[in-house]
Amino acid sequence: MRRGLIVGGLCLAAIVAAGLFVTRAVPVDASAFDGLEGDAANGEKVFTAAGCASCHAAPDATGEAKVILAGGQRFDSDFGTFIAPNISPHPEAGIGSWSLGEFASAVQKGVSPDGQHYYPAFPYASYIHMTDQDVVDLWAFWQTLPEDATPSQPQEVNFPFSIRRSVGVWKYLYLTDDWVMQDVPKPELERGRYLVEALAHCGECHTPRDALGGLDRSQWLAGAANPTGPGQIPSLTPDDLGWGPTDIVYYLETGFTPDFDSAGGHMVSVIENFAKLPASDREAVAAYLKALP
């Protein structure tokens, strides 16, 4: 019996050790950014395409106030309510005291400076595809933004998801830097993939999720339940959408559909962002969507 207890104890210890290893928070290798110089002008384009202000501006912020990243917007889900934090350059209330490496770890790996997991309501599962240069450029632009002293609010997440360590299991299951669309023979298609799958994180809303909140990549952009209210987020696959490239480009610039309807909900902010990007980016997104199976 004593031998059995010892073996059982060793097995339990091994299971615990394996669990701790799997669920650990792994930051980026900061040395990857050595020698890279930030371009704030390009960083602004990355900031716009990634929709940073769309989530982190204060509720009901308009105009120039949208670049004051005070946080406070609430996003309901089956797992609780996520509240966007202050990510302005304020040294105490925001992220002004962070290093480039800490910023990159948050954006690409969902890891905080103190080694905690961020909830994947922050779309780092898409941003993991960002190039190192774009991360550096985005950080350079961040230094130009106004500070704000509004305190961040705690997340209102249900148990057991309130245990941050459990996010490590989610990352083990779903966090990957593999692209959904593997074959991109043309530069325009490659740019479209980068915008859709990485910066604009379109899949986060337009792809159905499983019971644990992971994206069902086998139904990529095939439509999903609205996470913040009634209704359905539409499919963007060619057969379901039925729009031509010109229709898609026009919609991303103006918000008007071929049927003379207009964008609503969170898509209003997405349209505002895409309208500020070069026309070639909207055309690249159209090319990507038309190339979907």
pTM score: 0.91
The domain locations on the chain are: 25-177, 178-293
Q: Which residue has the tokens 């602004």?
A: 44
> In b/e form, how buried is each residue of 263-281, taking b as 16+ CB within 10 angstroms?
beebbebbbbbbeebeeeb
Structure-model confidence comparison of residues 2 and 255, the more confident one: 255
- The answer on pLDDT for 162 being more than 90 is no
User: What is the average pLDDT across 226-238?
Assistant: 86
Indicate the pLDDT class of residue 156, thresholds 50, 70 and 90. very high
Give exposure, 9-47, as e/b (b: 16+ Cβ within 10 Å): eeeeeeeeeeeeeebebebbeeeebeebebbeebbbbbb
How does the average pLDDT of the chain come out, rounded? 92
* Structure-token match 């890891």, residue found: 111
Residue 94's closest CA among 124, 57, 61?
Answer: 57
Over the stretch 39-50, which tens digit does the pLDDT of each residue have?
999 999 999 999
Closest residue by Cα to residue 68 from 55, 85, 53: 53
Contacts of 263 (CB under 8 A, 6+ apart): 251, 255, 256, 257, 270, 271
Helix (H) or strand (E) holding 75: strand 74-77
Of 97, 94, 34, the closest CA to residue 67 belongs to 94
DSSP E strands, 143-220: 156-157
Q: In the block, which residue shows the tokens 């057991």?
A: 160
Quote the DSSP letter at residue 217. Answer: G
* Dist. CA 56–CA 106, nearest whole Å: 15
Q: How far apart are CA 45 and CA 124, in angstroms?
A: 18
Distance CA 287, CA 284 (A): 5
What's the average model confidence in pLDDT over 21-38?
84
Could you tell me the pLDDT band of residue 231, with boundaries at 50, 70 and 90?
confident
Q: Which residues of 58-93 are buried (b: 16+ CB within 10 A; e: fewer)?
A: beebeeeebbbbbbbbeeebebbebbbbbbbbbeeb
